[in-house]
Each structure stands twice: as structure tokens, then as C-alpha cells.
Amino acid sequence: MKAVSPLKIAERIEVDPKVLGSKPTIRGLRISVEQVLKALAAGVPQEELLREHPELEPEDIRAALAYAAEVVGIRSTCGREANRTRTGAEGTHAWKRLALPEAQLGSPPVARSLNP
């Protein structure tokens, strides 16, 4: 499978508060990354997704998968850093000095928003 660069992800995955309640979507369409991922996880072949949603392109599906991998990687990294810091010599409240407060570690980071 051909890798999708971060630049290509940014071109295809958008977050707009006016579209699907700020969920990451494919090119601003009313098709969320979540919908694409759930369909693929349920075993729907890419060809069927493209047939059912002619506005989708193969690169959109690859970008959705790459975006999900990136989010999982960021969450995983944040969680390890928070756990190491919380249990380290600095004390149990050292997590407050991290870039993401502990309360946000469970929320997916969104770096590509249409509203700054």
C-alpha cells in the first residue's frame, strides 16, 4: 500500500465546526473519517465504498487510514509521556506541565481545522 504523506492528509481531511459537528471529514464532504474507517473495519471492500459514494476517491480512503494511524500514534505518545511523568520523581501532578492536560489525553488531537 502506498504511503500517504502528511501534506496529502491535510489536503483531504478537514475539520469544520459547520460540517458533522467538527468530526474529521473527507474534503469537507458529509462523509466522516469515522464512517470510512467503520465501513472498512466491517469488511466493506474499497471498491464498494467508492461505488456507493462516487464523490470519494481512492486517495481519500488512504488519507482516512493515514489520519487514523497518525491520531493513534499521537495518543500513544501522549499517554506514555503522561504516565512516565506522573510516576516520575517530579511527583504525581507533573502531568500539568505537559502540552496536553490529562483531561485531553482521551480526545483526538485535531491539527487541521478550518477555524484557527
pLDDT tens, position by position, 48-96: 999 999 999 999 999 999 999 988 887 666 655 544 544 444 444 333 3
Q: Please state the domain extents for the chain.
A: 6-104
Question: Shortest CA distance to 114 belongs to which of 18, 8, 9?
Answer: 18
Instruction: Classify domain 6-104 at the CATH topology level.
Output: Arc Repressor Mutant, subunit A (1.10.10)
pLDDT grade for 8, boundaries at 50, 70 and 90: confident
Q: Which three cell numbers stand for residue 105?
A: 489525553
Instruction: State yes or no: pLDDT of 114 exceeds 60.
Output: no
pLDDT grade for 11, boundaries at 50, 70 and 90: confident
The reported pLDDT for the residue numbered 13 is 93
